[in-house]
Amino acid sequence: MSRNGDKKPVGFATHITAGGIAGAMEAICCQPLDTIKVRMQLSKSGMAPGTKPRGFVATGLMIVRRETPLALYKGLGAVLSGIVPKMAIRFASFETYKEWLADKSTGNTRVGNIFIAGLAAGTTEAVAVVCPMEVVKIRLQAQQHSLADPLEAPRYRNAGHAVYTIIREEGFSALYRGVSLTALRQATNQGANFTAYQELKKLAHTYQPDLKDLPSYQHMIIGLISGAMGPFSNAPIDTIKTRLQKATYEPGTTAFQRIAAIANDMWKQEGIRSFYKGITPRVLRVAPGQAIVFAVYEKVRGIIETMNVSPSQDRYSE
């Protein structure tokens, strides 16, 4: 019987299709939690003596009351427009790096090299897609205007208008504000994510040797666990990145100076807890998001592989 580890690498078109569908499903299901996370990271609540920072439930309810439930999906257009190349690059680059780092005699990749492949895949997707997409998304999510009031005009009407306005007023480089932090966050995310997923998947197969492919619910559980690894390891990076990408450019300052200034300001004015603002909705968004991504990706990839296997090939796969 063939095992997942024995399968030949799938084509780039399969990564685009499976990854794109998986990413779109994840974005649609989890965008409200991401909007709440961004608002919490940008919030200055809890700074006054005797007050506490607004929690994620209170933040969500405030957005719904003041801006209508549709406001929870602000920035979704920016996410969806980048999700297909993002997921295609993530899975295709990971498989490519994993293959490069595999033992040439056995074809197997050691755990340490899987982590390195994940780091490289995360960095690749961050530079190619994620950073400019998130700059636009965060600018849209940070707008606290009511969608129910047509007279309350937002600064950015949609993702396309946001891109045009940012480039016109701040230059093309503004889309790559925070790229180093984004790359660091994505690298640690995908390093932890892919390593945990691959190892848990192997463990599941060890306890179920008769299964050719794991059922979707097991892919979801494994994806849920692996998806929670990244947010806990790099929450401060993500919070500083969010504030940096929301801020306008200050002439005469380097990226490092802006990052240091933001971190110093957060430490002095809000304390260490400010670095973990939005961690609850981020975990609630990322972990289920990865559960959806891996389950849908594995399902769609399996369907495509089945469609591409001829009857003669299928006889020899057992």
User: What pLDDT shows up at residue 255?
Assistant: 81
User: What pLDDT shows up at residue 153?
Assistant: 78
pLDDT reading at 2 higher than 70: no
Q: How much of the chain is in helix, strand and coil states, percent to nearest 5? A: 75, 0, 25
User: What pLDDT shows up at residue 315?
Assistant: 37
Tens-digit pLDDT profile for residues 224-269: 999 998 888 788 888 998 898 888 777 788 888 889 999 999 999 9
User: What pLDDT shows up at residue 5?
Assistant: 43
User: What pLDDT shows up at residue 9?
Assistant: 54
Query: Which sequence spans correspond to the domains of the chain?
Result: 12-74
Would you say 93 and 191 are in contact if contact means Cβ atoms under 8 Å apart? no
| Nearest alpha-carbon partner for 93 in 125, 121, 123 | 121
pTM of the predicted model over 0.85: no
Tens-digit pLDDT profile for residues 41-56: 888 877 777 778 888 8
Would you say 249 and 305 are in contact if contact means Cβ atoms under 8 Å apart? no
Query: How far are the Cα atoms of 42, 50, 242, 246, 278 from residue 47, in angstroms, in the given order?
Result: 12, 9, 19, 20, 16
Q: What is the mean pLDDT of the chain?
A: 86
Tens-digit pLDDT profile for residues 25-82: 988 988 998 899 889 888 887 777 777 888 889 999 999 999 999 999 998 988 888 8
